[in-house]
Chains A and B, each alone.
Chain A
Amino acid sequence: MNTNYPSQFFKYLAYLLIICIGFSWFAIQNNLLGFTYTDLTDYQLSKIDNTDYIDIAIVGDSSAGNGIDANLLGKVLNKKSISLALTGSFGYGGSYIMAKKAIQKGAKEILIVHTVDMPTRPAYLDRRAGVFLIRSFSDLLNLTEGIHHVLGLYLSKDIVATAIKQTFKYFFLNTDNTENKRSDPSRYDYIKQHEKINTENIDIKINSSLINKDKFYYLNKLVNYCNEQKIKCSYAHGPIHHSFCKNNSDYLSTVNTLISNTNISLLSENPYCMIDNEIGDSEDHILAQYKYLSTNHYINLLTP
């Protein structure tokens, strides 16, 4: 019997844990994980802090950030509106937290807008959203669902792998982290888009079998919170390329059923279908110059 075995095991494991957590921590602190868009989250969180009152808070992903002009919507509806849209990486988890924060600040109505393929994305991303939005100790207690969420961030293989890669790039390749630098959210009230994509070969088909039912966990939580606080919360699909609207009636019908099952008010069963000219840097991003068109779509949905 070698009594050193467990002590050696735990010693080496501790070294490895420190190395992995160290890389994650460094990468997060230095904004090296491109997909977290710290500039954007800081900007959106500061809006909540700096606002006296909110009539309508728009939460969601990039389809909402690019597709809804909160100022225009507010002016037409004569209600103070702010967009708190994050990105698809935050999933429904991000929307839940932003909506919760907005409601705590006094928001009277929440509009949730997500891209149509959101239910097919991995559910674990939503669980991380809370951790990316922590800005204080009280956030740590209120936004995460326990210490395991924080561990899930610092000790997940994709975060650690990206953190190691980006840290080496940061020190040895001296590359710019352009993904974060391009955002400048105060100028666009969201992230600046890349170049317009070629729309010639876009043909979106999504099979219903790809829907991940666990994905609705945070949407359910959001609806329950709205009900508890007696706040009107409604859901709408984000704008999407017209090929989706032609090809995916089965998928859309399944998604609509699952969304309705959460007891949220689904404002329309159909998304705003963009023609080729309106497409920006992604199939679900409208070009900035046409943002007013999709905004009008949501104004109509919200008009009693």
Chain B
Amino acid sequence: MLFNSYIFIFAFLPIVLVGFHLSSKYLSQTKVLLWLVVSSLFFYGWWNISYLVLITFSISFNYIISYYLRSNKAKVALILGIFINIAMLGYYKYANFFIENLNFISNSHYAIENIILPLAISFFTFQQITYLIDSYKGITKDHDFIHYCLFVTFFPQLIAGPIVHHKEMLPQFLKKENMGLKVNNVSIGLTIFLIGLFKKVVIADSMGALATPIFNLAEQGVEITMLEAWGAALAYSLQLYFDFSGYSDMAIGLARMFNIKLPINFFSPYKSKNIIEFWRRWHITLSNFLKDYIYIPLGGSRNGKIKQLSNLLITMLIGGLWHGAGWTFIIWGGIHGMFLIINHLWLNWKGRVVPNQYLDKTITKLIAWLITILALILSWVIFRAETLNGAITMYSAMFGFNGLSLPNSISTLAPVLLSIFPDANIMTNGVGIFSEGSNDAKIIITCIIVLYFPNTLEWMHITKPALNMEIFFKKKYNYKLSYWEQSAKYARLMAMIAMIAILSLGDASEFLYFQF
């Protein structure tokens, strides 16, 4: 069941909300939470009922091990717990990849039945590993099985995050005042959910319609021209951001309707002026997980610069592999690891390269932003490509190896360009789907939204919409646009946004992050 489907919006969500409210009124708190667990499992089982067996086993196994770890502090039990979790993830997510590569290296023909990746396995596995480690460290408390089930399965965040931490979630489930519908929270949650829905079905899907045909052609080995390739790469960068941040907004909004705050997951990442800043703003809960449970246990920055940089690279390679079983994801992780290394080295050297008085100049910041955004767009190409060949075809087009094809509107510039670059392969036959002015306008408008407008959580910040937002609100944001408030004006605006989103539900598509 997708968040952006009629069945979810018009049936599942209203029923679960009404059930939550009525059970809060007439039943005990445990029964209210049980209602949410059952609803969440129903939501998960809607895709494939057999997945329920796997998630139920995973929850029960981890609950028992963590219970044992709290009282016994046995390292063997911790290793066994982590091993079983990783083995399950490895089998379902990476076995096919491993066999393919083994066959390639050894020229063998081992075969296993095509394994279907259970939804959200990467998310709930990581969440539970952190719980096991913290139980071993004595950080977790004794919790009821129902509370633990809800921590793992709570439907707003189950499928694609944000990755939640037990110390953020379990205390909220235990609070009596969080039971029953609160008009204020329903209003805030509904607003955030609708903004997320709009981002997904109106913006992300329209960007996807521009990017997908070009990436598909690249996979077929068809030669693509330079502007087409850049257009598709930019459109995909926008699609991914609006798709995933839209999903996170929807998750945060849904949870808020049930009086639960989820952690912040995105904060205008494309406004970053370096890659370190980007990873503080993009998929923040994954970045935190990688930092706390991989980078720091590897040694972090404790053992000298070279060890720190190699730890960064390893962490990002694992981060890449977490996204999917494929060389394109591993290379993407490696590229970001290299970006972070370069960024760290630059922080050490920049004082020697650029005089201090220039570092705070607007032009310097603009150059920094431009380099960062170009690096990101280039890295998303390999992330999106299905094969290495597809990525190479895109890159060769982006770097001009297939020539430059001008849009019809500026084809008269061809002679001028040829007089400057006589050997260049400049064509005037348009640039496919980007020949249409309306498509170019869509991309430009979307870029303006990304770069000029406040993000959802900024716009809603007076409502404290998510956890861990303080880091981004140290300084006051001054946008000319007014912030959200509970007024008739904004009720009308949100009704319009809801209507536009509902009209776009007919061709519902899955979220990109479902595959991870």
Contacts and interface: CB of A to CB of B under 8 A. Distances in A.
A157 B503 contact: yes
B159 interface: no
A51 B170 CA distance: 66
Given A151-B10, A207-B217, A207-B220, A16 B5 contact: no
Interface in B198-222: 213, 216-217, 219-220, 222
Interface in A41-73: none
Interface residues of B, number: 33
Nearest to A4: B488
Contacts of B186: 6
Contact of A8 (B217, B222, B488): B488
A204 interface: no
A3 B507 CA distance: 34
A16 B495 contact: yes
Contacts of B86: none
B213 A210 contact: yes
Contacts of A157: 500, 503-504, 506
Interface in A117-142: 122, 124, 127-128
B216 to A, nearest CB: 4
B490 A5 contact: yes
A61 to B, nearest CB: 20
A124 B506 CA distance: 7
A208 interface: yes
A275 B495 CA distance: 54
B33 to A, nearest CB: 25
A148 interface: yes
Q: How large is the interface on A (under 10, 10 to 19, 20 to 34, 35 or more residues)?
A: 20 to 34
A288 B258 CA distance: 63
A13 B495 contact: yes
Contacts of A148: 5-7, 10
A9 interface: yes
Interface in A1-42: 1-6, 8-10, 12-13, 15-17, 20
A13 B498 contact: yes
Interface SS of chain A? helix
Contact of B507 (A10, A122, A160): A122
A210 to B, nearest CB: 7
A146 B7 CA distance: 9
A209 interface: yes
B441 interface: no
Interface in B4-57: 5-7, 10
B468 interface: no
A151 B184 CA distance: 29
Interface in B166-199: 183-184, 186-187, 190
Question: Which one of B5, B186, B222, B491 has the highest number of Cβ atoms from chain A below 10 Å of its Cβ?
Answer: B491
B492 interface: yes
A74 interface: no
Interface in A197-217: 207-210
A211 to B, nearest CB: 9
B183 A6 contact: yes
B499 interface: yes
* 9 closest A-B pairs by CB: A12-B495, A156-B506, A209-B216, A148-B6, A2-B486, A8-B491, A157-B503, A5-B486, A16-B499
Given A1-B486, A209-B220, 5 more contacts: A4-B491, A6-B183, A13-B495, A13-B498, A16-B499
Interface of A: 1-6, 8-10, 12-13, 15-17, 20, 122, 124, 127-128, 146-148, 151-152, 155-157, 160, 207-210
